[in-house]
Amino acid sequence: MSIWSIVFSDIILLLLFILSTRKYLLKPNMSKMWWTFGFLEGFLSVLGYLLSVYTHIYFFFYLYYFFGAGLTPAILGLGSVYLLPKSKFNFQLYITYMTIILAIILFILLLFSHIISSNFNVLTDLIFKNVITTKNYSISLLGVNIIKNSYWLIPLVILNSIGTIEIVGVSLYSFIQDIKKKRFSKRSTGLIFIVVSSFLLATVASISRFYNISVIWLGFLFTWILFFVGYILIN
């Protein structure tokens, strides 16, 4: 089941990328640009994950980890931040610089790490044979037990936290503005979907070490379905 959850998750991310690209081409702005990049990185990361377990080429797993686990939430967060009106302080620019610096640090730390081949083989068995994972190996879904040298966890946690806060914060802000103006609509409902999916994405990622890998990927799939519905409603 986990392999199909991964495939369907990637299809949803591809659809989000296509829709976001279309909107950007029709009316370009910074928010749409970052959202488009975020969905593209999400699609490429899950594709990299699939290719890594099929081909055993470690480069694809690094691709998954850098783009997906590392950058996707942060880049989508930038798309949310640029929806807010600019101020004299121009905080959007500073957040962008901070995100880029953290991404560079993450990239460098991953360069100095290496794959533990025995644990990676366990991951492929879990994907294709649907083996019930032990606590020790279920964490390998996100690479913590596969990529040796865990210093990259520091910028990764910061990037994910910032991205989640940005998406949830801006969505809640927009929702409150709609309520104040007594303008509850499909857009307001879509904002609720995005807030819930963002919290769910962070929750699924944080509990991945405790559950069967199939359950975790079902959680990711459900998360992206909610995000897709929310994106359609707000647009």
pLDDT, tens only, 119-162: 777 666 666 654 434 444 444 444 556 777 678 888 988 998 89
Averaged pLDDT of the chain: 82
Which of 68, 210, 219, 218 has its CA nearest to residue 139?
A: 210
- What's the CATH number where 206 sits? 1.20.1070
Domain count, the chain: 1
pLDDT of residue 89: 67
The pTM score is 0.85
Query: Domain of 26?
Result: 2-234
